[in-house]
A and B are shown apart, each in its own frame.
Chain A
Amino acid sequence: MSRWTERLGFFESIRRFRCAALAALVLLGCNVGGYPDLGSELDNLAFTGSKNATAWMRTLADGSSELLVLGAAPEGRTAGFVLVTMRTDSTGTILAGEYTHRAATLVLSATSEYTKTAEFDRPPSGRTGSTRTDFETPEEMRFTLEETDGRLRLDGDDGTAVMIDLWEVVSAIDPSTQAGMEMIARVYNLSTVSLQMRIPGFGGAGLLQYLNEPGEFVGVLGGRATIEMSSPTEPRAEILFFDYKDFPGMVLDGDQISKTDMSGEGTLTGTVRFSMNDPREGGTFHVAGDLTYRLGLTNGRSSSGGYTVIMDDGADWEIAYDTAETLDFRSLLPPE
C-alpha cells in the first residue's frame, strides 16, 4: 500500500470518527416526543369503501382548506372517512375513522388524529414532527346532511359547512396556463402533504426511527408509500410512492429525496409521476405528467428553486416553490 493510500485511509478514519461523534451529538440533542405504545402500528389507517369514494372541499377565510373523503357505503352501513384540514403553510390535521349515513344524519366517528405543526422556530433535531393520537373512545361528530348538485351541506353543533365536490373544483383549472399549472401543483401537494401528516416524526428528529428501517404507509384510497433515512449525520430521506392515492382520481408514483445537513440546509430532488382523472361519471378532466423537484431547503423547508413539470402532451412548465407550496385555494374556491 502506498504512503498516499495509507494517508487517505487515515483521513477516511478521521471522517468516520467525525460522523460517529456527530451522530452521538444528534442523539444527545434531539427530541422525538414521548415513547410510542408497544405494538403501535406505524400506519393504522384502514379505510373501507375506497372504491367509488367521494371527496368534498371547502376553503376558510384564513386560507386553510378542508377536504372530506367519504368511502362508498349503502345507507345505514359504515365506511371510512378522512377529514383533512390543511393550512397554507403545509401544516394541518387529519381526522380518520368511520362514518354512518342514515336518513339525513351523518355521524363521523374519529378513531385517530394526525397532526403536523409548524416548528420552524426550533432546530430540525429539536422538532417533534408529525404525530398521531389514537382515541380510546371514538370522537363523534354529528351532522344533518343534505347533498344537492355537487354540494354537501353539513349542519352541526358548530355551524354549517358547505363543501363542493373536489372534482368540481379541480376541473375548473385550466392546465394550459401558467396560473393553472401552479394550481395543479397545489392540488398535487394535497396528496404529498397529507402523507407527511401521517408519517410519525416527519419533519423532526422522529425521522431517526426510519434510519435504515423503512416505514410503509398505505394510501387512503390505494397504493402505498415508503420512507427511509440512510444517514443520521447527513440526513438523506427518501419517500417512494407506489400508485399512491389519497384522493379520488389522484395517483402518485415516483420518489422524493431530501438531503440536508444538521441545520436543515440541503436539497430536495426526485421525480414523481402524477395523474389526475376526474372519476365522476362523464368526467373529462385529465392531466398527467412528471414532476421533478429541484428545491433548495433552508431550516428544513423549501427556500429556493421549484418544480419542473413535463406534461404528457409535451408541454413543460417551471413552477416556483412558493406558489406551489402555499396551499391556498381561495382563488379557485372562495370561502362561504
Chain B
Amino acid sequence: MSVRRRDLRRDAVRRPPARIGITLGSLCCLLLTLRAEAVEIDQGLSPVLHSSTLVSVESTYEFIAPGVSWGLSAGHRINFVSRLTAFFPAALFQDGHYFHARDYYDPIVGGEALLGAGVALALPDDQRAALGLGAHLNGQKLGSARYETFYSLTLGVGIDARYRYPLSRSLAMGAFIASAVHFMDFIHDADGLRYGVFICGGITLALRTGR
C-alpha cells in the first residue's frame, strides 16, 4: 500500500557556519564600498514580476507575483548595492498543480532584501550598467483561517544586474534583473529546504544624484 507520510519529526539540521559566512561576506561588501573614491547615488523604483521556486524534500513550490522594488547603488566604480522588494503571490504551483492564491489565502505577502557590493560600467552617452552580488533574504506568508499557513524565511546569495539610459542629468530609465539561490530556511529547518531560486525583473525609473 502506498502511503504518503510527512515525517516532520526528524532532528533539525542546523547550518550555522553557512549563516556566519554569509553575514561576514555582507560585511566585507560594505567595507569595500566604503573604500570607493567617489559617491554617486542611483535609486530606482520598479514595478516587477517576481518568481519564487522552493524545492523541499517532498515538493516543488513555484509562486508568481507582481510587486514593487526599490533599488539603491552608491559608489563610483565599486558600488554598495541594495534592493528591497515587496511582492504579492498571485499564481501558486505545487508539483505542477495550480492554485489561484486569492481562492485560498489572505493575506498574501512576500518581501526580500539584497545587500552587497557591485561594479559599475560606464557606457557611451552616459549610459550605465552595474552588477552586484550580496546576501539575499526572502520571506513569504500565505495566511488563512481555513488553510494551513504557508510561510518561509530563507537566506542565500543573490546577484543584481541593472542598466540605465539617461533621460536627463538626474533622471534615467532602465531595467533590472535580480536572481538569488538559497539553501537555508530559518523556520523550516527540520524537513528542510533543499534549495530556492528567486528571479525578479522590471522596468525602472531612476533618480541619479551626487554626480
Q: Is the CB of A34 within 8 A of B9?
A: no
B5, B6, B12, B92: the one contacting A31 at CB < 8 Å is B12
Which residues of chain B are within 8 angstroms of A331 by Cβ–Cβ distance? none
Q: How far is the CA of A42 from the CA of B142 in the complex (A)?
A: 13
Q: Is the CB of B187 within 8 A of A200?
A: no
Q: How far is the CA of A214 from the CA of B143 in the complex (A)?
A: 10
Q: How far is the CA of A214 from the CA of B8 in the complex (A)?
A: 23
Least Cβ distance of A45 to chain B in Å?
13
Q: Does B77 contact A (CB under 8 A)?
A: no
**A36, A131, A140 — which one has the most chain B CB atoms within 10 A of its CB?**
A36
Task: Give 1 or 0 for each of A209-234: 1 = CB within 8 Å of chain B CB.
Answer: 11001111000000000000000000
A34, A36, A117: the one contacting B57 at CB < 8 Å is A34
Task: Give 1 or 0 for each of B6-30: 1 = CB within 8 Å of chain A CB.
Answer: 1011001000000000000000000
Q: How far is the CA of A145 from the CA of B104 in the complex (A)?
A: 42
Q: Is the CB of A36 within 8 A of B148?
A: yes
> Restricting to A123-177, which residues have a CB under 8 Å from any CB of B?
126, 128, 131, 133-137, 139-140
Beyond A31-B12, A36-B149, A134-B4, whether A213 also contacts B144 by CB under 8 A is yes
Interface residues contributed by chain B, number (CB under 8 Å):
39
Q: Is the CB of B147 within 8 A of A35?
A: no
Q: Is the CB of B4 within 8 A of A28?
A: no
Q: Is the CB of B104 within 8 A of A33?
A: no
Q: How far is the CA of A126 from the CA of B190 in the complex (A)?
A: 10
Q: How far is the CA of A134 from the CA of B207 in the complex (A)?
A: 53
Q: Is the CB of A213 within 8 A of B145?
A: yes
A33, A37, A213: the one contacting B94 at CB < 8 Å is A37
Least Cβ distance of A71 to chain B in Å?
23
Beyond A31-B189, A128-B9, whether A38 also contacts B99 by CB under 8 A is yes
Least Cβ distance of B183 to chain A in Å?
15
Q: Is the interface of B mostly helix, strand, loop or mixed?
A: loop
Q: Is the CB of B9 within 8 A of A31?
A: no
Which of B37-45, B126-134, B150-158, B165-173 lies at the interface? Answer: B150-158
> Restricting to B43-97, which residues have a CB under 8 Å from any CB of A?
54, 56-59, 61, 92, 94, 97
Q: Is the CB of B190 within 8 A of A34?
A: yes
Q: Is the CB of B104 within 8 A of A27?
A: no
Nearest residue (CB) in B for A228 is B145
User: Closest 8 A-B residue pairs measured CB to CB?
Assistant: A34-B191, A33-B8, A209-B149, A36-B148, A136-B4, A38-B94, A40-B148, A213-B143
Number of A-B contacts (CB under 8 A): 104
Nearest residue (CB) in B for A212 is B143
A34, A140, A210, A215: the one contacting B8 at CB < 8 Å is A34
Q: How far is the CA of A158 from the CA of B149 in the complex (A)?
A: 38
- A interface residues, Cβ below 8 angstroms from B: 27-42, 117, 126, 128, 131, 133-137, 139-140, 200, 205, 209-210, 213-216
Which residues of chain A are within 8 angstroms of B148 by Cβ–Cβ distance? 36-37, 40-42, 200, 209
Q: How far is the CA of A209 from the CA of B153 in the complex (A)?
A: 13
A36, A137, A209, A216: the one contacting B3 at CB < 8 Å is A137
Nearest residue (CB) in B for A37 is B94
Least Cβ distance of B147 to chain A in Å?
6
- B interface residues, Cβ below 8 angstroms from A: 1-6, 8-9, 12, 54, 56-59, 61, 92, 94, 97, 99, 104, 142-153, 186-192
Q: Is the CB of B61 within 8 A of A35?
A: yes
Q: Is the CB of B6 within 8 A of A38?
A: no
Q: Is the CB of A38 within 8 A of B104?
A: yes
Q: How far is the CA of A233 from the CA of B56 in the complex (A)?
A: 28
Q: Is the CB of A214 within 8 A of B188?
A: no
Q: Is the CB of A41 within 8 A of B188?
A: no
Nearest residue (CB) in B for A135 is B3
Nearest residue (CB) in A for B57 is A34
Which residues of chain A are within 8 angstroms of B145 by Cβ–Cβ distance? 42, 213-216
Beyond A31-B190, A35-B191, whether A133 also contacts B151 by CB under 8 A is no
Which residues of chain B are within 8 angstroms of A35 by Cβ–Cβ distance? 54, 56, 58-59, 61, 150, 152, 188, 191
Nearest residue (CB) in A for B8 is A33
Q: Is the CB of B191 within 8 A of A33?
A: yes
Q: List 7 A-B contacts (CB under 8 A).
A: A29-B186, A30-B186, A41-B146, A136-B4, A137-B1, A205-B187, A213-B144
